[in-house]
Amino acid sequence: MIKIVINDCFGGYGLSAEALLMLMKMKSKGLTTQSIKDYYGAKTTNPGWKEHWLEEMKKCPKIEGYFYRYGQLMDDNYNSNPCVYSFTGDRDHPDLVKVVEELGSKKASGEHAQLKVVAIPDGVKWEIEEYDGSESVHEKHRSWS
């Protein structure tokens, strides 16, 4: 069986800070890191970008040395560029599936999500379809317009 993580409610897929921290501790290959300046791009072109985001981060909940905002963990290292940590691995990534199964939907889900693990038969080519943030897994098929 292939296990896939989807969002099972209207809103949108997202991980909680606890889920992201667990993936960090697992040293998951699906995790990515960007500097806040790179992540926010044009919004941070002014010379005071770092001070601005550090002030914004202070308004966010702090968890184990990180700030959590918009479904991302932000490194609170004030001596260098603070970083944004997010999970960009595939939805069938074994680390992601493990985190959702171990934490459960309530603890693993981001603010507007209700994550769920769906199992499908091995060998099926699949895709995730989404409507207003609510997702379902479908077998891939051909279509033409």
Domains of the chain, by residue range, sit at 1-16+90-145, 31-88
Q: Which of 45-49, 60-64, 92-96 has the highest mean pLDDT?
A: 92-96
Two structure tokens written together for 135: 């997702």
Q: Is the pLDDT of residue 45 over 70?
A: no
Residue 141: name the closest of 129, 130, 133 by CA. Answer: 129
| d(C-alpha 113, C-alpha 9), whole Å | 6
Using alpha carbons only, what angle is made at residue 64 by residues 57 and 85, rounded to the nearest 5 degrees? 60
Q: What is the pTM of this model?
A: 0.83
Two structure tokens written together for 109: 């889900």
Beta bridge partners of 119: 3
The per-residue pLDDT for 79 is 63
